[in-house]
Chains A and B, each alone.
Chain A
């Protein structure tokens, strides 16, 4: 059900409704899982969260991992997302409803986090960084950071570019 809702939002954004006034501020994240030509490919584990300047976590947005393995065995590799594991992962009992979901295939993935109605919760005004960390079984690890200020005064389009485990990262802030 959750997946259906996020797909609906994605469609809305793609159709150009993003500029329409919304009741609440929102963070939209478009993250690219790169297609890799490697002998053994596993979809990466990906975590995204919002960090305060002291590196404490203001909001845990999403965690993609192998949720389908029996006996919750997929949790064994959560620690490979080292920063996420350190900042919050090790304090959570995965899976967490609304936060964790299955790993995703190569391609672009859109997620929307309306304030007050998603894992974003409500953010106090201030400086933050949106962090995306990816770790792939028998592959590498990559971490991207996008600094931003909250609440956004106007619509903002922020970008970062991954080099191996992540592709383009686009963060859209809607006031």
Chain B
């Protein structure tokens, strides 16, 4: 048993869990950052950076990994060979904790289902392909050509299904798909815990006049259902949004709002808000700039058996302009 690579694998697993749920024990935040959100003229492009970091919005920890992007090798702390991370590596999927996978296949054929998927929705509601996909030591990056006028939603989504249970005094861990759950996870076991995790990180950009077709929630996981258009945000005005979980209002949910530029101030200036009975919350912006908003939802008690308890996270980067 070679010790170092194994340890590294655990480390990567822990990072992966944080991508799915940035409000974990660690303070790392996952985010997308657009080069522009409000554009005029024609032949417009935006570049999007995707990263996981402590401070917003600096590339200082890890690239945010997206399926279908090139692969790079990162040697961390001078370890030999242990630091390889595939482009579609199992980010955003593994359970928190860090014991080795037991039972099931952690990397099922057909690619890792837990890698972040990029989903760009154009003004007409149709899918748009990302271009010039690249990855570096600290960030992933891609371009989006805004061929049609209107609003685009650029999102990454993570989905994972995990189980853990005790077998002969040993903790078993499993990760897989809903189809394989019944085949590979026992119906009854000591301390059986099945969790379905969903994460969504997104930004909005508009060429010309803002439109709303791309903003419609998909009805899966935790999502933003904007009331104020997310590309029409100005200092001194209150913006209103709704959070929905599986398409229904997410009531009494804590929402965190943090302005960019943390490196150059002493105070985090974090705003903690709460959604009302309609799942709505309102933000009054003090300064122009980029803002990171984040919310998480989690079942305290699972329904039991193999029915998964739910865990979902939402994050968006919004640009606020001056008057």
Residues on A facing B (Cβ under 8 Å) = 71-79, 82-83, 85-86, 89-91, 143
Contacts and interface: CB of A to CB of B under 8 A. Distances in A.
Contacts of B40: 75-79, 85, 89-90
Interface of B: 38-44, 208-210, 232, 234, 321-323
Secondary structure at the A interface, as helix, strand, loop or mixed, is helix
Contacts of B42: 71-72, 75
Contact of A83 (B44, B208, B323): B323
Nearest to A79: B40
B246 to A, nearest CB: 34
B322 A82 contact: yes
A73 B210 contact: no
Contacts of A75: 40-42
A10 B70 CA distance: 63
Contacts of A82: 38, 321-322
Contacts of B41: 72-79
A79 B207 CA distance: 10
Given A76-B39, A82-B321, 14 more contacts: A71-B42, A71-B43, A74-B41, A75-B42, A76-B44, A77-B41, A79-B39, A82-B38, A83-B323, A85-B38, A86-B232, A86-B234, A90-B210, A143-B323
Contacts of A91: 209
* Of listed B39, B44, B208, B234, residue having the most chain A CB within 10 A: B208
Nearest to A80: B40
Counting chain B CB atoms within 10 Å of each CB, the highest count among A78, A89, A90 belongs to A90
Contacts of B44: 76
A76 B322 CA distance: 19
A133 to B, nearest CB: 11
A82 B41 CA distance: 14
A143 B322 CA distance: 11
A122 B209 CA distance: 26
B291 to A, nearest CB: 17
A74 B43 CA distance: 12
A74 B41 CA distance: 8
